[in-house]
Structure 1
Amino acid sequence: MLQSGKTYVVSNELRKTVNEMRFVKEFSSRVMKIRRQKQQFQGKASSAGKKLGQKRNNLYAYTLL
């Protein structure tokens, strides 16, 4: 097993593969982060919309009275 902190002689092909793997890992974590933020935002937006709808319904009820 390769140990971190030690220097190894690797072929360019292997180095490329490692770099690609690192890039994919970083990229996918960023994508997941963005998705989480989007879900949180949608949740907040929908709850705000519901509150607004309730207020609107209340106003409508008052106008009927």
Structure 2
Amino acid sequence: MYPCAIKDEHSKRVLDWAVADHMRTELVTAALEQAIAVRGGDLAGTITHSDRGSQYTAEAI
């Protein structure tokens, strides 16, 4: 089981998360898409940070 959580560092709350049986880019994009929906689609001024693992830095096709 591989979890991916998206946390708002300003409010300190977890916006959303995803769990999968793999650690591929799809896991990260699923968590990001859900977190974006929680924020109402507003991405203005958003900065993301990760541990630079390949699943976070890969180009999704």
TM-score (norm 1): 0.28
Higher relative contact order (CA 8 A, sep 6+): 2
Pick the structure with greater CA Rg. Answer: 1
Structure holding more strand per residue: 2
- Higher helix proportion, which one? 1
